[in-house]
């Protein structure tokens, strides 16, 4: 996927996880293993991540350039104890991306309730919604039609929404998600 010429302009951000573990690969080892040096003319960056979350870390923030747009992303921790801070970010949101584990059917009912609560906030009325159905590369992942049904998405009348499948592990579906984000930013500017 990284060698695909259609993605030449897309910067590559690699999260090297578990960097706090004793046997973690160095940044140069990750770059070599992923053949990043072969990405001539491409912008790429490796960010180190730790295996254990910081106990008080509620939000991770990144600023990326996607298709010539500077995009600020907030990964707002979904744990119950952290949900009270979510409204602090709603006013700034231009798009809303809700990531689901497509393999965990039991938690989809909880996710549905959480999404309903989020969508009740007036600040998000005009924000296009993208449901990201993650882990499509694993056995037992639910088909999109089942996710739509279990999440009650067909009932979202009057809201601009879409669903995309992906695998954060393999990168499949990520370019389509990036295109969706930039298309919505384009549309909102007009």
Binding-site sequence positions: 78, 134-137
As annotated, the binding site for GTP includes: 78, 134-137
Q: What is the DSSP string of 1-43?
A: -TT-GGGTTS-EEEEE--TTSTTPPPHHHHHHHTTGGG-TT--
In 3D space, the residue among 70, 50, 74, 64 whose CA is nearest the CA of residue 12 turns out to be: 64
Burial class of residue 177 (count of CB atoms within 10 Å of its CB; 0-12, 13-18, 19+): middle
Q: How many CA atoms lie within 13 A of 93 on its CB side?
A: 25
Q: Which token pair is 87?
A: 């409204």
């Amino acid at each position: 996927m990284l060698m695909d010429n259609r993605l030449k302009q897309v910067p590559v951000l690699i999260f090297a996880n578990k960097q706090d573990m004793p046997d973690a690969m160095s940044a140069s080892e990750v770059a070599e293993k992923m053949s990043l040096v072969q990405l001539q003319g491409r912008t790429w960056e490796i960010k180190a991540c730790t295996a254990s979350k910081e106990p008080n870390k509620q939000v991770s923030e990144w600023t990326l350039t996607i298709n010539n747009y500077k995009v600020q992303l907030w990964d707002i921790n979904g744990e119950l104890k952290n949900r009270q801070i979510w409204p602090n970010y709603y006013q700034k949101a231009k798009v809303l991306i809700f990531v689901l584990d497509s393999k965990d059917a039991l938690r989809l009912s909880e996710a549905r309730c959480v999404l309903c609560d989020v969508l009740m906030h007036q600040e998000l009325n005009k924000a296009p919604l993208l449901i990201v159905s993650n882990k499509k590369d694993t056995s037992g992942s639910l088909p999109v039609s089942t996710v739509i049904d279990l999440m009650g998405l067909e009932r979202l009348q009057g809201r601009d929404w879409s669903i995309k499948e992906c695998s954060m592990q393999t990168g499949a579906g990520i370019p389509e998600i990036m295109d969706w984000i930039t298309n919505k930013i384009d549309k909102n500017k007009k």
